[in-house]
Amino acid sequence: MFEKHTAFYTVGRYCLLILNSHSSHATAEFDKFCTEKNIIPLYLSPYLLYLLQLLDVSCFSPLKHLYGQKTEEIMQNGIHLIDKKDFLYIYSTVCQYALSLSNI
């Protein structure tokens, strides 16, 4: 799939493909394919790969943290069930802080 969508941009040049280090990616067939198509596979630890996914680091991590804080506050007030309506209220309250211009 990668080569199909990037071949036009990589004619005569190498292309870097960043992957997690899952064993299904590292096969002799895949290595041969990469060599033939001038693709350089870079295998990263799953624990490092998320750092390249900038939205996860800059936006969704603060959103998850603030959402967790807000649900803890609600639970401390004796509410132990969060339905769809509660979710939407909590989400709309915290997303304005987590998805700020400075984070984005």
pLDDT in tens, 52-80: 776 777 778 889 999 999 999 999 998 88
- List, in order, residues 6 or more apart from 98 with CB less than 8 Å away: 59, 60, 62, 63, 65, 66, 67
pTM over 0.75: no
Q: Which residues pair with 19 in a beta bridge?
A: 43
Q: What are the extents of the domains in the chain?
A: 2-51, 53-98
Asked whether residue 33 carries a pLDDT value surpassing 70, the answer given is: yes
pLDDT for 60 equals 84
Chain mean pLDDT for the chain: 83
